[in-house]
Amino acid sequence: MTPAIFLDRDGTILEDHGVLTCAADVHFLPGVVEALQALKRRFRLFVLTNESLVGKGTLTRQQVNLVNGHMLRELHRDGICIEELYACPGAKGTCCKCHKPGSEFLVDAAQRYGLDITQSWTVGDHPHDAELGRSAGGNGIVVLTGHGQKHRADVPKGVPVAFDLAEASRIMFAGMQ
């Protein structure tokens, strides 16, 4: 069984400018590509993103797919393979089991790809990103990029906090047995 990293999209991989509607809105945070290149050597990489604005009618699935497709192509060009990107279109507060911190996508990925969740990590700029990993029996880490700084006081005790994905990768590597 293989460990994996489940990454949030906006504020963790991409600059969070609010509503991302097209390829021109895709801007990687500094150091993300290098951090993912290092992580891919030991972990399988996945993206889990809440796209609540689809459920609210502000964004279309087509717009989300355009942004996601462009991001994945750019990462692939840099030698980074995202095994699968999971996007929940449900609005926050719905009973959707895939909306983070719901674990439906994580459980699906673990079963489909033979992942060792106990050695895996969820990474994002909101406490619910870390909560997802921990509630599924794995690990979670919060990055201070995106909205992370705003939510720092809400991070539960015992959850590592990193300045950015590069620092988070060092923490994850140190945590491997």
β-strands 82-88, 161-162: how paired? unpaired
pLDDT tens string 116-160: 999 999 999 999 999 998 888 999 999 999 999 999 999 999 999
Q: Which domains does the chain have, with CATH numbers?
A: 4-93+100-112+132-174 (3.40.50.1000)
**Cis peptide preceding 127, ω within 30 of 0:** no
Catalytic residue annotation: 8, 10
Nearest alpha-carbon partner for 6 in 53, 41, 39: 39
What's the chain's length in residues?
177
pLDDT tens string 46-97: 999 888 778 787 888 998 899 999 999 999 999 999 999 998 887 676 667 7
Instruction: Evaluate whether 116 touches 6 at the Cβ level (below 8 Å).
Output: no
If one compares 59 and 26, the residue with the highest pLDDT of the two is 26
